[in-house]
Amino acid sequence: MKKFIDILPILCFFLFYKKYDIFIASNTLIITSGLTIAIKWLIYKEIKKFDIISFVYIVFFTTLTIILHDSQFIKLKPTFVYFSLAIFLFINHIWMKKLFIKKILKKKFILPDSIYRKINISWIFFLILCGFSNAYVALNSPDNIWVNFKIFILNLAILIFVILNLIYIKYTISKNDKLK
């Protein structure tokens, strides 16, 4: 149920874009994003920081899109999100000497810090690549190409990257077990 709630805004955005246009879809994105936060609060009694930050980005960029009647703002929102996440991971990695990836993964995997560092760095580069890819398509393609790219290509790329990370983690765990 939680996963469905998480994808509801992007699903509604896509459906409303296909039926109407990017401006109505942008309005829908704001509404459904706010509703998902409310639903999560009602059902799970929690709202994660990432949900709030994501909602702020959505409200900011979709409001600019609607008020200025310019789709470039909503199209560039993912680039800012990807770059923000990359910067956050980089700052935590370099200056704060914390591995945010470790905080996420240690609930499921016990790994040496060197492996968490490699995964963290790979995510930084991957997010930068996603940001530049999105910016390129957003700035050089019509809305329909960008919507399909964002919904299908970028989300598929993220899924594949997560799977590759899991394969790497499993390989590392099995390699460490053989060394014992």
Structural domain boundaries, residue 43: 1-70
- What predicted TM-score, i.e. pTM, was given to this entire model? 0.87
Looking at the structure, tell me whether residues 89 and 174 fall in a common domain: yes
Last residue of a domain, one of 47, 70, 93: 70
Can you tell me the distance from the alpha carbon of 14 to that of 148, in angstroms, rounded to the nearest whole number? 9
Looking at the structure, tell me whether residues 111 and 159 fall in a common domain: yes
Give, for all 180 residues of the chain, the pLDDT tens digit. 778 888 999 999 999 999 999 999 999 999 999 999 999 999 988 888 888 999 999 999 999 999 999 999 999 999 999 999 999 999 988 877 777 777 777 777 777 778 888 999 999 999 999 999 999 999 999 999 999 999 999 999 999 999 999 999 888 887 766 555
Looking at the structure, tell me whether residues 54 and 121 fall in a common domain: no
Looking at the structure, tell me whether residues 59 and 87 fall in a common domain: no
Buried b (16+ CB within 10 A) or exposed e, 123-158: bbebbbebbebbbebbeeeebeebbebbeeebeeee
Looking at the structure, tell me whether residues 61 and 76 fall in a common domain: no
